[in-house]
Amino acid sequence: MNHRHSALLVIDLQNDYFPGGAFPLHDADATLDRVLQAMEQAKRQGMPIILVQHVAEGPSSFFNADSEGVAIHPRVLAAVPDAPVIVKHHADSFLRTELAEVLQQQGIEELLVCGMMTQNCVTHTAISTEATPYRISILPDCCTTVSQMLHIIALRAVEHRVRLATAAEALA
């Protein structure tokens, strides 16, 4: 498949979601490993990788500005040190951010979405009204949330609106 106009969007792989963080998610470390594999495959194909970082507006139980937990996981940053980072304050990565501008500047037509909080930030970004111009695929094997059951429920809720494809399928 030609991925000349595709980008991999990596949402909220931040320290607070990992063991030892303020809000660790189900299977976070294994999900990180799969995301890193997808990133390597995307890089081999010359596909842009865009990182998204959630920063809480005001005091919060996690993702507080300038905290260790808000930082993007160091393994992600090491893998793509020059990737653009979109800072967001809402579940939708397009809402009040420069994501659409970055995608337009790079000529992106297809967006492969992965990351943390399947039922929130991943799906809200994938079905955002600002995502309408793009072919959207969610990579379920590269996403997680608080439980496997909630992950599956969230994916079933959007499966008729966006494509669900494993990283191997989407990056083939």
Instruction: Indicate the helix (H) or strand (E) that contains 144.
Output: strand 135-144
Q: Which amino acid is at 57?
A: E
CATH of 6-170, one of 1.20.1250.20, 3.30.420.10, 3.40.50.850, 3.40.50.620: 3.40.50.850
Percent of the chain scored above 90 by pLDDT?
97
- Does pLDDT of 2 surpass 80? no
Distance (Å, rounded) from C-alpha 96 to C-alpha 28? 27
Q: Give yes or no for a contact between 138 and 31, defined as CB atoms under 8 angstroms apart.
A: no
What is the domain partition of the chain in residue ranges? Answer: 6-170
DSSP 132: T
Per-residue confidence (pLDDT) for residue 3, from 0 to 100: 82
pLDDT, position 158: 99
Which tokens hold the place of 104? 């337009």
Residue type present at position 147: S
